[in-house]
């Protein structure tokens, strides 16, 4: 059987979808603003967490917060290509000058937190921020083995 990959998007019009500002996210993640101090009033409706840029390209949606442990220029460029609202770098990863410079140039806010990705995502979900993709359905979805 050919694997058919589909995904289920959250409807932003559903009741219960919280819209939070970047300032609120900063507080929830006890984050430092590296780029975008002037954009803390930016409204974020969904989030997506990944370290594989191929997953970000396949499943992240425009306007979401990207939560990642990657701090390389490709992460910023991928976010820009997808019109991602902001990036939160987790796990206290060191940020290079090039990463920061590209984010400034492209106007992408960067938050930096010491929380691991699981904790960062959990804190945001607990406060009502949902993922831009809820689940990935592959084939008949009955087994991880193919």
Q: Dump pLDDT digits (tens) for 32-88.
A: 999 999 999 999 999 999 999 999 999 999 999 999 999 999 999 999 999 999 999
Residue ranges and CATH numbers for the domains of the chain are: 5-138 (3.40.1390.20)
**Max Cα separation, the chain?**
51
Give the C-alpha separation, 60 to 42, whole Å: 18
Give the C-alpha separation, 15 to 13, whole Å: 7
Query: Which residues, at least 6 apart from 1, have a Cβ–Cβ distance to it below 8 Å?
Result: 139, 140
Percent of the chain with pLDDT over 90: 76
The whole model's pTM is what? 0.84
- What integer pLDDT is reported at residue 17 of this predicted model? 57
């Amino acid at each position: 059987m050919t694997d058919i990959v589909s995904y289920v998007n959250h409807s932003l019009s559903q009741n219960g979808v919280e819209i939070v500002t970047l300032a609120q996210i900063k507080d929830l993640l006890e984050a430092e603003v590296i780029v975008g101090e002037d954009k803390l009033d930016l409204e974020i409706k969904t989030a997506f967490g990944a370290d594989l840029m191929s997953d970000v390209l396949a499943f992240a949606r425009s306007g979401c917060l990207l939560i990642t442990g990657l701090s390389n220029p490709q992460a910023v460029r991928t976010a820009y290509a997808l019109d991602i609202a902001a990036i939160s770098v987790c796990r206290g990863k060191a940020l290079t000058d090039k990463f920061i410079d590209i984010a400034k140039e492209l106007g992408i806010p960067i938050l930096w937190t010491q929380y691991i990705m699981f904790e960062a995502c959990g804190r945001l979900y607990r406060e009502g921020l949902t993922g831009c993709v809820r689940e990935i359905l592959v084939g008949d979805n009955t087994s991880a083995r193919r």
